[in-house]
Amino acid sequence: MPELPEVEFVARQLRETLPGRRITAVETRWERSIQGMEPAEFAAEVSGRVVTQVGRRAKYLLLTLDDGRLLIIHRRMSGNLLLWAPDDPEPLYTRVVFTLDDGRRLAYTDPRKFGRVALAAPDALPAAFATLGPEPLEDAFTPAALATRLAGHAGAIKAVLLDQRVVAGLGNIYADEALFRAGIHPLRSAASLTAEEITRLHAGIQGALTTGIAHGGTTFGRHRDIYNEAGVNLEHVEVYRRTGQPCLRCGAPIERIVVAQRSTHFCPHCQPPHPASSNGGSQARRSKRAK
Asked if 158 is an active-site residue, the reply is no
Q: Which of 2, 5, 39, 134 is catalytic?
A: 2
Kindly give the pairing relationship between strand 94-100 and strand 23-28.
antiparallel
Give the bridge partners for 85, in sequence order: none
Q: Is there a catalytic annotation at residue 89?
A: no
**3 is known as an active-site residue:** yes
Catalytic option among 22, 69, 262, 285: 262
DSSP per position, 185-211: -TTSBGGG--HHHHHHHHHHHHHHHHH
Q: What angle do CA 130, 133, 137 make, to 5 degrees?
A: 130
- Identify the active-site residue in 6, 39, 49, 59: 59
Cβ atoms of 39 and 112 closer than 8 Å: no
User: For residues 125 and 58, what is the distance between their CA atoms, to the nearest angstrom?
Assistant: 12
What's at 205, amino acid-wise? Answer: I
Known active-site residue 262: yes
Cβ-based neighbour number of residue 246 at 10 Å: 12
Please identify every residue annotated as catalytic. Answer: 2-3, 59, 262
